[in-house]
Structure 1
Amino acid sequence: MTAFYAIIPSRMKSTRLPEKPLKDIAGRPMVVRVAERALASGATDVIVATDHPDIVKACETYGVKVVLTSENHPTGTDRLAETVTKLGLDDEAIVVNVQGDEPLIPTAVVREVAELLAAHPECEMATAGHPIEDIEEFMNPNVVKVVRDAQGNAITFSRAPIPWPRDAFREDKTKLPDGLNPLRHIGLYAYRVKFLKRYPHWQQAPIEKWESLEQLRALYYGVKIAVAVLPGALPAGVDTQEDLDRVREVYAQGKI
C-alpha cells in the first residue's frame, strides 16, 4: 500500500455555517469526523492544519494531531506548505489534502489519488473527476471541468464548458452530444511535498486569477497533474445547516 499523509486544512471563516469545523456530528466535532475518515483511508498519519486555537483544542481533546498555522494564507495549498515544513516531511513524501467539511468522503477515493500520484513519478499532483451527465451541469460556471491528455494528465481546468462541441452545438444545444464525455473536477488533491514547498513562491498566474482556480497556477508553471476518473460524484460536503442535518442523519443511521 502506498504510504501517504493526509492533511486537513480547517478554518473558522464560514459565513453560511458559523464555526463549521466544530459542529457536532454524532458526538464529535466535524473536523474530528473528517480526520477519522482520513485515517480509515490507510494514511500513515493524519494532521489538521488550522489557524484557530478552538480547532486546536477540539483536535487535542480527541487525540487528533494538529498544527497551528498562520492566519494569512491566501489558499489552502499555502497552508499545507507551512504544515509540511513544520512537520519536516521528506520532499518525495505524498500528502493528500482532505477538505475539513467533507465528513462523508469515501476512504477509497482518498487512497486512490495517493496511489495514482505514487504510480506517476513524472507528476507532482494528482486529483480526480467524474463524468458530467447533463447539459445544465456542463454549462454551470460553478461546476469546474477538467480535460485530460493521452496520458491521463490535466490539460486544463475551467469553469467554462470544455471541450466545446462547436459543430454539434450548431445543431442542438439542449443536450450533450454523444461521445463528448466531459469531466467534472473534484477538489481532492494529492501532492508531493517538494511541490508544496515551491508553490507559495510562485506569483499568481493570470489564468488562475480570472478563473479563480488555484490548480491553474501549477499548470502555468509546468507541473503535471494526474487525473483519476471516478464512476460518479462524491457525497456532498457541508456548507449549510441543511447539509449538516443530512450528514448527521447518515451518521445516526450508521451508514458510515
Structure 2
Amino acid sequence: MIDYSNVHIVIPARFLSSRLPGKLVADVAGKPLIVRVYENVISATSKIDVIVAVDDIRIADILTTYNIPWCMTSSSHDSGTDRIAEVCSSMGWPETDLVINVQGDEPLLPKGVINDFISFCKENDNFEMATITSPFGDLDDIFDTNVVKVISNKNNFANYFSRSVIPFDRDSILSQEYIQSYQKHIGVYAYNVATLFEITNSESVANENLEKLEQLRALWLGISIKIMNVDCQIPHGVDTSEDLQKVVEFFKDK
C-alpha cells in the first residue's frame, strides 16, 4: 500500500496569467475554472491533502465560497514553482515530503493519471523530480509553441524541454508515420521539498528565460527529472481563449 501521509498536492493559481489574464476565475459551465481543477484533483485523491496557492483575493474569495483550502502567496513570484515553495515553507513540510504540482489551468487531467503519477514517484529510488509525457495525436500540436515537447534518454530521464519542434526534422519528412518519435509534455510536476527549495533558491537561467519553461532551471542545476509516459491522449490545458471555450463545451456536454 502507498503511504500518502507525506504527500501534498499544491495547485498554483496566479490571477494575471501572461497569456489569458483572469482565466482561473472564468465561468466554466457554472463554476470557475480553478474550482473545476480542484474538484477534479480532489475526486481522484481523497487520501491526500490538496491546497490552492493563490496570489489574489479575487481567487481566494471564490475558493472560500466553495470551502476549498487556500494559501495566500506573493504576487511577485515568477513561476508556479516559486509559489509552491512558499506554501511548503509556510506549512513547514519536511524536506523529504513529496509535493505534486497540478497546474491551475488543467481541469481535464484524467484522475487515473494523477494516482498513477503519485505511485510512480513513491516507487522511484533517490527521487528528486518527475513529470509526465503523453503521445501526440495531432501533427499540428507538434508545431504549436503552446505545446511543450520533451526529449528523454533510455532510462526515461528528461534531456530537454522546448516549445520548438524537438527533435528537429532535418529531412522534412515529418508525417503521421513519425509522430511516435515525439513526446508531449504534460504540465504536472513532482518534487521532494528539498529539491523544490534547491530550484527556487537558485537564479533563473538563460534557457529558462528564453523558452519561458521553468523546468529548464532544474536541468541546468543537474537535477534528474524522471519521466512517466502515459499511453492516453491528455487534453491540453487552458492557455488561450480557444482552449477555454473547448473546456466550457466539455463540461456543458458532461
TM-score under structure 1 length normalisation? 0.86
**Partner secondary structure for residue 58 of structure 2:** helix
Equivalent in 105, 111, 115 of residue 107 of structure 1: 111
Contact 2:137 2:233 in 1 (8 A): no
Q: Which residue pairs with 1:83 in the alignment?
A: 87
Contact 2:136 2:179 in 1 (8 A): no
- Residue 58 of structure 2 corresponds to residue 61 of structure 1: no
- Quick one: structure 1 residues 25 and 148, their matched pair in 2 at CA, closer, same or farther if it must change by over 3 Å? same
Deviation at 1:113, TM superposition (A): 2.3
Q: Which residue pairs with 1:183 in the alignment?
A: 183
Q: Which residue pairs with 2:206 in the alignment?
A: 206
Q: Which residue pairs with 1:158 in the alignment?
A: 162
Aligned mates of 2:131, 2:137 — CA distance in 1: 20
Identity within the alignment, %:
38
Larger mean Cα displacement after TM superposition, 61-70 or 188-197: 188-197
Contact 2:135 2:180 in 1 (8 A): no
Aligned mates of 2:80, 2:52 — CA distance in 1: 12
Q: Which residue pairs with 1:38 in the alignment?
A: 41
User: Quick check: which has more Rg, 1 or 2?
Assistant: 1
Q: Deviations over 1:78-134 (max 9, x none)?
A: 001001111111212111111112222211222222222212132311111122356
TM-score under structure 2 length normalisation? 0.87
Specify every segment of 5 or more residues in structure 2 that has no aligned partner in the other structure, as ranges.
Answer: none
**Letter in structure 1 aligned against 2:44:** S
In the TM superposition, what are the counterparts of 1:132-171 in structure 2 within 5 Å? 132=136, 136-164=140-168, 166=170, 169=171
- Quick one: structure 1 residues 15 and 199, their matched pair in 2 at CA, closer, same or farther if it must change by over 3 Å? closer
Paired residues, what number?
A: 250
Aligned mates of 2:58, 2:164 — CA distance in 1: 39
Contact 1:130 1:185 in 2 (8 A): yes
Deviation at 1:177, TM superposition (A): 6.4
- Residue 130 of structure 2 corresponds to residue 126 of structure 1: yes
Contact 1:95 1:114 in 2 (8 A): no
- Quick one: structure 1 residues 163 and 250, their matched pair in 2 at CA, closer, same or farther if it must change by over 3 Å? closer
